[in-house]
Amino acid sequence: MSDSLRRDIASRSVPQTDAGLIAIFETIVGRANVSTGEKATRRYRTGFRSGSGKALAVVKPGSLVEQWKVLAACVKANVIVIPQASNTGLTGGSTPDGDNYDRDVVIVSTARLKKIYVISGGSEVICLPGATLDQLERTLKPLGREPHSVIGSSCIGASVFGGVCNNSGGTLVHRGPAYTELAAFARVDPDGALRFVNHLGVCLGDQPEAALARLDRGEFAEGDIQHGLGAASDTNYARHVRDIDADTPARYNADPQRLYEASGSAGKLMAFALRLDTFPIETGAKVFYIGANRPSELTGLRRQILSGFAHLPISGEYMHRDAFNIAEKYGKDTFLMIDRFGTRRLPTFFNLKGSWDNLFERFGFLPAHLTDRVLQAISLLFRSHLPTRIKEFRDRFEHHLLLKVSASGADEARDFLARYFEQASGDYFECSDEEGRKAFLHRFVTAGAVVRYRAVHSARVEDIVALDIALRRNELDWLEHLPDELEQAIELKLYYGHFLCHVFHQDYIIKRGYDCLELEHKMWNLLDKRGAEYPAEHNVGHLYPAKPALKSFYEKLDPCNCFNPGIGHTSKFAMYRDAEG
Ligand SMILES: Cc1cc2nc3c(=O)[nH]c(=O)nc-3n(C[C@H](O)[C@H](O)[C@H](O)COP(=O)(O)OP(=O)(O)OC[C@H]3O[C@@H](n4cnc5c(N)ncnc54)[C@H](O)[C@@H]3O)c2cc1C
């Protein structure tokens, strides 16, 4: 972009006092849905595991037209917009990062926009920006269908949009990252003009507000829906993941093949509606619990399953024994809550916890992380929550694999495992339905358990270094070996992940006094040498640098850098300048 065009755009933005802009927001969405001030906005400005920064306001539109008007007001006032859905991202991608931006930041929280429209006889859905995966699952269940993704945070309210905008992965081996080419969104063109783009494949007319109002009310007939305009899921992934001799990872956030408009956009545009495929529910799935002390036995298992099984498994989740133990102790309350009350109440609980954290923080004499400490203490009063056979495997084996297969694939898996473990030193058992459900729930609470550990042991823990990595599909040596220099800085290493996809979450709890950033950079060097890609599925947020393909995708989506600037260590300043001014 030429300097004169940049100057031209800068001169066209309307200077707006903070109070004036907030008054405009209040007119659009109502006073109750605009939050300002540190305490009221804290929950939206702080990430689940990392990330926090300053924001002028948090605005919560109640309709798509309000969302559009809020965005238009932001663009006119030349403020930064950070779109936020459920804010469960782990890399600070939906929260501001510090206060070194050149413009005010406005967080647009879409959590109130929860509608879902089932179309095409149930084989597709159109979701509005706040719809959650859990809600989608409940909507589709009576139709015998299920959503594209199951991720660890489905149970704590992660949204459909967060998944697509992050290319989130999750457990399902068949389906790969959340992806669609069918979206309605707004972008800001190089000349600074706000533009509505309807690539949803639904005829809604040319006027943005009228189109969005129709979309919001679901005023479209099957005849308005066009087919064959683009993919509404990654239809190649099953074939791709089976290619175990390929020298590249199966999936990772910067993979150019999965960056398309809203998909992978990480807030570099504002999406209003996404159209996604749905899938038949797997009934009668079976879970096999596998233990091994030799990593090579799981390597062989993965390669033979992916290359030889006629029925690709539904999922294959890995946990190291240390991750198992931390999840058992520090994820127990979340486990018990989901087990007793289901997933529906969990987002409410997390909101409540946010309010308590806010309240307790006001009293400086109280210990830090009081809510976490109290919940942790209460959880210890409850009896052991894990099935006996699973705990026995924990005592016998260091490496754990939860293999879930469809009813039609159960015999194949059963026969294979019986033969495989005649030779191998590991072992397995077929779970009852309850054991299978609890084994997966235990795996899912691990990411949150690490955060709890840091809170409860804040006196001796510097921080968490969390890596989210994708190994090459042909990688045999998947368990890393760290040099002593790094080992001595680490209190605990937690390895867990999506084993068949070769996507691993490696969380390191760093001892107090060590430089986490320096350690992380050393780990990146080791990963580079192994040909790994990172992040795999949590997206760059403010933790990882965006690789060139991702960076240029962001610049193409958002040439003026008005959406979520700084993501992937890119410039935080207007027009991607190097410095403010
Ligand atoms: C316990 C736990 C387990 C997890 N397990 C997994 C897992 O198994 N797999 C996985 O991939 N992730 C996992 N995650 C990470 C996280 O939940 C996912 O990244 C999720 O998809 C984020 O959804 P969200 O609704 O919270 O989105 P947010 O965090 O609110 O946003 C995510 C990104 O999308 C952008 N965005 C949101 N709405 C819009 C919009 N309307 N327009 C444009 N951009 C938008 C945001 O700006 C941000 O960049 C886990 C997190 C936790 C806490």
270 lines ligand 1 (CB under 6 A): yes
Bridge partners (DSSP) listed for residue 466: 507
Ligand 1, from 44, 52, 66, 90: best to mutate by most atoms within 8 Å of Cβ?
Answer: 90
183 Rama sector, left if φ>0, alpha if ψ -120 to 50, beta otherwise: beta
Q: How far apart are CA 252 and CA 470, in angstroms?
A: 6
267 lines ligand 1 (CB under 6 A): yes
Ligand 1 atom at minimum distance from 90 CA:
15
Ligand 1 atom at minimum distance from 159 CA:
25
Q: How far apart are CA 509 and CA 465, in angstroms?
A: 7
CB–CB of 92/86 below 8 Å?
no
CB–CB of 440/287 below 8 Å?
yes
166 lines ligand 1 (CB under 6 A): yes
- To which H or E segment does residue 467 belong? strand 461-470
189's tokens: 């063109």
Bridge partners (DSSP) listed for residue 308: none
Ligand 1, from 48, 86, 88: best to mutate by most atoms within 8 Å of Cβ?
Answer: 88
Instruction: Tally the C-alpha atoms within 13 A of residue 35's C-alpha that lie toward its C-beta.
Output: 15
The rounded Å distance from CA 531 to ligand 1 centre is 26
For residue 405, the SS3 value is strand
129 Rama sector, left if φ>0, alpha if ψ -120 to 50, beta otherwise: alpha
450 lines ligand 1 (CB under 6 A): no
570 lines ligand 1 (CB under 6 A): no
Question: Whose C-alpha lies nearest to ligand 1, atom 9?
Answer: 170
Q: Chunked in runs of 10, what are the mean pLDDT values of the chain (581 residues)?
A: 46 64 98 94 91 96 98 97 95 96 97 97 97 95 92 84 93 93 97 97 96 97 94 94 97 95 98 97 94 98 98 97 97 92 76 76 75 89 95 98 97 98 97 97 92 92 95 97 96 96 97 96 96 96 95 98 97 89 59
Q: In what order do the strands lie in the sheet with 116-119?
A: 116-119, 124-127, 270-277, 183-188, 194-199
Phi and psi angles of residue 165, each rounded to the nearest 5 degrees, phi first:
-70, -25
90 lines ligand 1 (CB under 6 A): yes
Concatenated DSSP letters of 99-112: S--SS-EEEEE-TT
163 lines ligand 1 (CB under 6 A): yes
pLDDT at residue 434 in the model: 97
**Please, what is the angle between helix 321-330 and helix 388-396, to 10°?**
140
176 lines ligand 1 (CB under 6 A): no
CB–CB of 219/202 below 8 Å?
no
159 lines ligand 1 (CB under 6 A): yes
Residue that has been written with the tokens 């999965």 in this structure: 258
CB–CB of 281/146 below 8 Å?
yes
pLDDT at residue 220 in the model: 93
- To which H or E segment does residue 549 belong? helix 548-557
Ligand 1 atom at minimum distance from 83 CA:
47
Ligand 1 atom at minimum distance from 270 CA:
42
Q: How far apart are CA 425 and CA 238, in angstroms?
A: 30
Q: What is the CA angle 285-289-295, rounded to 5? A: 130
Ligand 1, from 45, 86, 148, 153: best to mutate by most atoms within 8 Å of Cβ?
Answer: 153
Helices (H) and strands (E) in the chain, counts: 20, 18
188 lines ligand 1 (CB under 6 A): no
SS3 content of the chain, % helix, strand, coil (to 5): 40, 20, 40
447 lines ligand 1 (CB under 6 A): yes
Q: How far apart are CA 452 and CA 379, in angstroms?
A: 12
501 Rama sector, left if φ>0, alpha if ψ -120 to 50, beta otherwise: alpha
The rounded Å distance from CA 87 to ligand 1 centre is 6
417's tokens: 């495992």
Please provide the size of the chain in residues.
Answer: 581
Q: What is the CA angle 424-425-431, rounded to 5? A: 85
pLDDT at residue 581 in the model: 59
